[in-house]
Amino acid sequence: MKNVIIGILLLTTIAFGSLYLTEIRKAHEAEANAANIQEKLAEAETRVSRQEERTTALETRLHDTREKAVAKAEQVTKLQEAITNQVQTNAKSSSPIAEMFKSQEMRDLIKNQQRIALSGLVDKNYAEFLSGSGLPSDKSAALKDLILKKSLIGAQAGVSLMAGDLDAEKRQEIIKQSKADTDEVDKQIKEFLGEQNYPQFQAYEKTIPDRMTVNMFKEQQASGPGALTPEQESQLRQAISEERQTFKFTTDFTDQSKLSADPASFFTDEKITRFQEESAQLQDRYVTRASSILTTEQIEPFQKFLVGQREMQNAGMKMAMQLFGQKNSN
């Protein structure tokens, strides 16, 4: 009887032991599953958190973009209102555009737009020099500010010269002051870069008109089959620069240092017509050089681009003649 009881107890112990081990195994599996679930939950929470951060960033960017768009729209509206008011006021004037620029409000609006536009041009056209200068970001930003300051001097002087009530003496004062201010900024840039690096900056500045031309054509071509390769861009810019710097204009309207103190005597039918003819000759040289750089699919768009640039230049010449009280016979 005793052995029977012991056998039953042994079987019971084995059964409970087996059950215990099974439960222990299940508990471990449950713990492992719980840990796995917890890990996945943490990953999900991280993804959600990152998504919320991205969403917040996008919302902030969208808000900033909307604010900028509203500000731009307000500027455009003000500019349109100012132009409309001035045109209506000066409709009977012999030189309505010149009368328009007498308005301080109009000049302030245009100067503000000049700052925005020139800032973008400085970023784009001086990018290669700034990136290759080895300057730290704060120094690079400071140099860019000086370049923008220099660019604004000439642009804002041009706005002041557009007022139709200026005599030769006042124009002389504006041009003289503009040159003095430009020389002062050049001095600051020279001190900033040092004697060794300043000549490199001067050489780079001489290529800015060519960089602007190539950059505009590059943007026109975008990323399609006619897009410029970096090698084409560099070769085209060098070719244009070489042709432009060796070409001799009879009267070079692109050289601001040679502008007369009395623009009315500078912007004449004869001089402008001659400049337009010579500009066409120079662009023909551009096309000849470009034919060995661009593909057959690119050369025709380049020719059309140059024609468009020349037409805009001619329109600017006509406006200048109107501003300074002369009539174009063309």
Q: What is the pLDDT of residue 187?
A: 95
Q: What is the pLDDT of residue 5?
A: 37
- The predicted-structure confidence for 41-89, as pLDDT tens digits, reads as follows 666 666 656 665 555 555 555 555 455 444 544 554 555 455 445 444 4
Which residue in this structure is represented by tokens 């002051």?
Answer: 177
Contacts of 127 (CB under 8 A, 6+ apart): none
Would you say residue 266 has pLDDT above 50? yes
The percent of residues above 90 in pLDDT, for the chain, comes to: 33
Q: Quick one: how far is CA 300 from the chain centroid?
A: 26
Inter-residue contact 98 to 324 (CB < 8 Å): yes
Identity of residue 109: L
Give residue 13's pLDDT band: very low, low, confident or very high (50, 70, 90): very low
The lowest-confidence range among 39-43, 57-61, 252-256, 316-320 is 57-61
Inter-residue contact 164 to 95 (CB < 8 Å): yes
Inter-residue contact 113 to 75 (CB < 8 Å): yes
Q: Whose CA is closest to 320, among 134, 188, 164, 167?
A: 164
Inter-residue contact 105 to 196 (CB < 8 Å): no
Would you say residue 312 has pLDDT above 70? yes
Give residue 6's pLDDT band: very low, low, confident or very high (50, 70, 90): very low
Q: What is the pLDDT of residue 164?
A: 60
Give residue 301's pLDDT band: very low, low, confident or very high (50, 70, 90): very high
Q: Whose CA is closest to 328, among 245, 248, 272, 252?
A: 272
Q: What is the pLDDT of residue 14?
A: 39
Tokens at 310, concatenated? 């020349």
Give residue 268's pLDDT band: very low, low, confident or very high (50, 70, 90): confident
The lowest-confidence range among 15-19, 46-50, 158-162 is 15-19
Looking at every residue in the chain, the average pLDDT score rounds to 75
Would you say residue 326 has pLDDT above 70? no
Q: What is the pLDDT of residue 165?
A: 65
Would you say residue 263 has pLDDT above 80? no
- The predicted-structure confidence for 172-211, as pLDDT tens digits, reads as follows 788 888 889 999 999 999 999 999 899 999 999 999 999 9
Q: Between 240 and 169, where is the model more confident? A: 240
Give residue 118's pLDDT band: very low, low, confident or very high (50, 70, 90): confident
Query: Given its phi and psi angles, is residue 134 left (phi above 0), alpha (psi -120 to 50 degrees) or beta?
Result: left
